[in-house]
Structure 1
Amino acid sequence: MQKSSVQGLSLKGRVRALIHGVALGDAMGAPVEKLPAAEIAAKYGRVTSLNTEWHKMSLDATARNGRVRGNGIVTDDTLMTLCLMDIYGEVRRHLDAWDMADGMVKQIAWVPRYVPELQREAMLIERLFYPEKWIFQRHQLTSCDPRQGGIGNMVNCGAAMYVAPIGVVNACDPKAAYDEAIAFASGHQESFGLEAAGAFAAAVAAAFIPGTDIEGVIEAVLALAKDGTRNAIADIAEVARKLKAQGADYQTVVAAFHAAIAPYSPMGDDVNHTPAKAGRLTAAYQPSRLGSIEELPLALGFCLFNDGDFRRSIEDGINSGRDTDSIGVMAGAILGAMHGEGVIDIADHALLDRGQQAEPHRRRRSVHRNGDHHPGRRPGGRRPADQLPRRPHILIDNERRMMPKLSKETIYEKIYAGFIGKAIGVRLGAPVEPTIWSYERVQKTYGEVTQYLRDFKNFAADDDTNGPVYFIRALRDYGLKASAADVGKTWVNYAAEEHGMYWWGGFGVSTEHTAYRNLRAGIPAPQSGSIAQNGATVAEQIGGQIFIDSWGWVHPGEPQKAADASARAASVAHDGDGLNGARFCAAAIAKAFEATSIAEVIDAAMATIDANSTYAQRSAGRHRLSQGQPRQLARLP
């Protein structure tokens, strides 16, 4: 049974994995939505990739309502999840039905956004299914009591499919998530459609509890769920346990799950709406305390059968047919929250970004607010309303930030090669890093160093390699224009004193330790790293240079922007020539994406720093020497 780990999982990392899980399950399931399991197997064998062609793509545009799917394109499940995140980002508090009447109506009917399926900007309501359009009709057109908004709607999974963010803002507190989801989604759904929203939000919240597993999540849900929803989840879970113990094959599991859910959801494989259904009497979609949606019980069942395995659970849910994307969304959200960023496949992430690439509004706020700091949050603790966070910014994929001559693939390759190159340099240099290793001593001991000097059994990455990865968090939380204050928040949000990559050499001795103590004492950046605060000896150390690769990577071909961003980041702990070093190195990295010579890189970097500074004068002298006597560089102090 895969359990979440108390160590190595940040709250923000879990949220990112949850969002990734929602998008992955949605985009992978959408091409086969409404197909029965047998037809999926016949057409596709087994769907395991985002690169799947929609089964309707061969039809003309009218027959598919002008939509496209496949190859990483997300649908309404993801878009409405993002709408809910925007509502949280705007109101910064917990929600109820009045936020459905106000915030959600605005999000779906009055906020233009890029809709990937339509390949254009539109109001989301144009894409939504009728039970979700109901939100606009009930609240804006009929001005109902917000708490009665869901009454009369077609009962389905529509509210449940997008309430994962409610589980996030009530992380580790399933009861609070359940209550808030019921209060909010009552403006959209009723009966077992509403109950499913509460149960799904509770499952997401439970998944954040450190050390939990899928059995723990299901236990938490069963303690809260009511009526048919609870019974359906309990029945599916019992079947999953038995089949897992028997080592049952996939087809057996699907058949058994569908048989178990049939008493609660009478639709079966007959999920397409056709003219033949007009006027037909059916128990499907009708309010009933005995009923349940299929998607959440099935998603939990596949998670349980697969011991909480992220990818296999999503794929199994999708290949079981019917409402494939929503099943994938629910499994992905729960297990993403449980396991954290380790489940994010880079190739999938890139394809999902490309699927939404034309999106013009990358300004959405997240379920994580800037500066959010959650030290040691206990299971059951509810986060204050003023600590609801903002959505992580997406890096690099905005084409306006790229040089026209560089493709996205080229940029990714260059970043990867740059990081590997840095790791090689660190691995080569680490054994002779202490200052006792002069040029003469290295030559006497090893001669010309051309290979690794030691065969480490375990080599722990140090601050040179950890730094760029660490500061990616500031970029993801605050974007490319992150201020010094934003990066300062990143320091205290993600680093615990005397743990992690910094040299914790003491206040007034170690530059980073001094800045960290200043931040914790309430001294904001950039004052925290200034010469006026700490003195030149502390403020002008090397850390500003060795941590800034990230700022060069995200400004490919834009050395001035890279320099400015790196100086803001480095000013948390550095000043003077410490900042000049940061500017120089970040600018050099940014220019290297398109430069054809080292001289071109150096010239571009030199243009970003104070020409009268000691750093500039020393750099220019070394540059001149390298052109005439490169072997003498190693002997310079």
Structure 2
Amino acid sequence: MALPYEELADRILGGWTGRIAGNMLGKPVERGDHWTREHIDAYLRLTDALPLTDYLPPPPPGATGFELRPEWPRCVRGGIDGSCRDDDVDWSVLGLHLLETHGFAFTTEQVGEEWLLRLPYLQTFTAERVAYRNLANGLRPPLTATYDNPYQEWIGALIRADVYGWTCPGDPRRAASLARRDAVLSHTGNGVYGAMWAAALIAAAFTAPDVRSVLEAGLERIPASSRLARTVRGAIALYESGLGWSEALDELAERTAGLGWIHTVPNAAVLTAGLLYGEGDFTRTIALTVRGGLDTDSNGATAGSVAGVMCGAAAIPPQWSEPLRDRVSSAVFGYDGVRIGELAERTLRLATLTQ
């Protein structure tokens, strides 16, 4: 179903804005082994910020045990003046550049070439850093994903997937296919499925009537027997049983115990819960997702992207969008300081090719 041009433009800008805002919300507490769900809420109570309806407050003087990430002064209320640099946004920028340069028929090898040309090695992490090193040493896909890589199912490929959803509005199948072609450079198994799932969610968010329909569209694009699919279905079942958000996350944490806080599967559980219990409200969705812990900035970014596409930029409350000053800090060569609006306009041009 083709969307009217103005609506499509608003939803794509909503996706970019939502991704950046959700990332900024979660960035100060991005360390899932320390900033647990309980610890995040303790900080919010300490700073009188529950319910969470804005960016995190700065830490009060003398507070101990609540040390935020070093970048926190630029990521909290009153300190935000444009977006902070973060890999969760860098990958979206680089993905846009990839599609503009090589088109929708890009190859996995071309994904790797753009990494080497456009992104500094030390601004990559876990599976992406391993794949980058493997590329520099002359390996080609799929060996770039499997050689000496203990992070193959971590969340990195999922956070690279948004641009494929934004440029395939209403077409989750195509979005997932593009995301897979990117993801196999660095990931396998649930790591790849996570990217396909996220891209499909975002593509579906343009036309789906509600969050449950978005999640169903994502599930249709990944193997039903995968641990990722089983975990997402489990989260949906807990929500539909009437269990509260916190109790549902307790149960999901038990089911995914031992995978670590950067693995795709437990983060997808937190993200699914945030989307469901957020019930389509932008602020509630990103707040609950970040409060869920684990990889907070990545989960907040993806939740913000889905919610931003669903509601459109015009409906995102100004406390999230205005401090961003329509400006992106980026490590991607040639893009530092680019306007969010420009990124959205360029994404829109690509999306209209698929409508």
Judge which range, 297-306 or 35-44, deviates more: 297-306
Map of 2:248 onto structure 1: 256
Map of 1:160 onto structure 2: 158
8 Å contact 2:165–2:200 — kept in the other structure? yes
Map of 2:343 onto structure 1: 366
Alignment pair present for 1:313 and 2:309: no
Alignment partner of 1:171 out of 165, 169, 184? 169
8 Å contact 2:16–2:344 — kept in the other structure? no
**Distance in structure 2 (CA, Å) of the matches to 1:370 and 1:68:** 30
**Distance in structure 2 (CA, Å) of the matches to 1:93 and 1:85:** 11
Map of 1:41 onto structure 2: 41
**Distance in structure 2 (CA, Å) of the matches to 1:176 and 1:307:** 26
Instruction: Report the alpha carbon displacement of residue 201 of structure 1 after superposing the two structures with TM.
Output: 0.5
Identical positions, percent: 19
Task: Indicate how the Cα distance of structure 1 residues 266 and 128 shifts in structure 2: closer, same or farther if over 3 A, else same.
Answer: same
8 Å contact 2:327–2:337 — kept in the other structure? no
8 Å contact 1:89–1:367 — kept in the other structure? no
Q: Which amino acid aligns with 1:366?
A: L
Alignment pair present for 1:85 and 2:80: no
**Distance in structure 2 (CA, Å) of the matches to 1:91 and 1:39:** 44
Alignment pair present for 1:100 and 2:96: no
With a CA cutoff of 8 Å and minimum separation of 6, indicate the structure with the bigger relative contact order: 2
Instruction: Report the alpha carbon displacement of residue 93 of structure 1 after superposing the two structures with TM.
Output: 3.0
Structure 2: give runs of 5+ residues left out of the alignment: none
Instruction: Report the alpha carbon displacement of residue 164 of structure 1 after superposing the two structures with TM.
Output: 0.3
Q: Which amino acid aligns with 2:12?
A: V
Map of 2:312 onto structure 1: 340
**Distance in structure 1 (CA, Å) of the matches to 2:140 and 2:11:** 36
Q: Which amino acid aligns with 1:345?
A: P
Instruction: Report the alpha carbon displacement of residue 351 of structure 1 after superposing the two structures with TM.
Output: 1.0
Structure 1: give runs of 5+ residues left out of the alignment: 110-124, 272-283, 286-291, 376-381, 385-637
Map of 1:24 onto structure 2: 21
Alignment pair present for 1:188 and 2:199: no
Task: Indicate how the Cα distance of structure 1 residues 197 and 258 shifts in structure 2: closer, same or farther if over 3 A, else same.
Answer: farther
Counting only pairs closer than 5 Å after superposition, residues 222-233 of structure 1 correspond to structure 2 as 222-226=219-223, 227-233=226-232
Alignment pair present for 1:383 and 2:354: yes
8 Å contact 1:85–1:367 — kept in the other structure? no
Question: Counterpart of 2:343 in 1: which secondary structure?
Answer: coil
Map of 2:143 onto structure 1: 148
Q: Map Cα deviations across residues 252-305 of structure 1 (whole Å, 9 max, x no partner).
A: x2232242243345246xx4xxxxxxxxxxxx95xxxxxx52223321222122
Q: Map Cα deviations across residues 16-49 of structure 1 (whole Å, 9 max, x no partner).
A: 1001111111000111222011111212223432
Counting only pairs closer than 5 Å after superposition, residues 460-539 of structure 1 correspond to structure 2 as none
Task: Indicate how the Cα distance of structure 1 residues 354 and 11 shifts in structure 2: closer, same or farther if over 3 A, else same.
Answer: closer
Q: Map Cα deviations across residues 393-418 of structure 1 (whole Å, 9 max, x no partner).
A: xxxxxxxxxxxxxxxxxxxxxxxxxx
**Distance in structure 2 (CA, Å) of the matches to 1:66 and 1:328:** 17
Map of 2:57 onto structure 1: 52
8 Å contact 1:84–1:162 — kept in the other structure? yes
**Distance in structure 2 (CA, Å) of the matches to 1:299 and 1:66:** 24
Question: Counterpart of 1:50 in 2: which secondary structure?
Answer: coil
**Distance in structure 1 (CA, Å) of the matches to 2:72 and 2:131:** 22
Alignment pair present for 1:139 and 2:135: yes
**Distance in structure 1 (CA, Å) of the matches to 2:248 and 2:71:** 36
Map of 1:350 onto structure 2: 322
8 Å contact 1:295–1:327 — kept in the other structure? yes
Task: Indicate how the Cα distance of structure 1 residues 305 and 242 shifts in structure 2: closer, same or farther if over 3 A, else same.
Answer: farther
**Distance in structure 2 (CA, Å) of the matches to 1:374 and 1:356:** 21
Alignment pair present for 1:200 and 2:218: no
8 Å contact 1:21–1:333 — kept in the other structure? yes
Task: Indicate how the Cα distance of structure 1 residues 88 and 58 shifts in structure 2: closer, same or farther if over 3 A, else same.
Answer: farther
Instruction: Report the alpha carbon displacement of residue 180 of structure 1 after superposing the two structures with TM.
Output: 1.3
What is the RMSD of the two structures over their aligned residues, measured on CA atoms?
3.4
Aligned residues: 327
Larger Rg: 1
**Distance in structure 2 (CA, Å) of the matches to 1:83 and 1:18:** 16
Question: Counterpart of 1:308 in 2: which secondary structure?
Answer: coil
Instruction: Report the alpha carbon displacement of residue 9 of structure 1 after superposing the two structures with TM.
Output: 5.8
Question: Counterpart of 1:146 in 2: which secondary structure?
Answer: coil
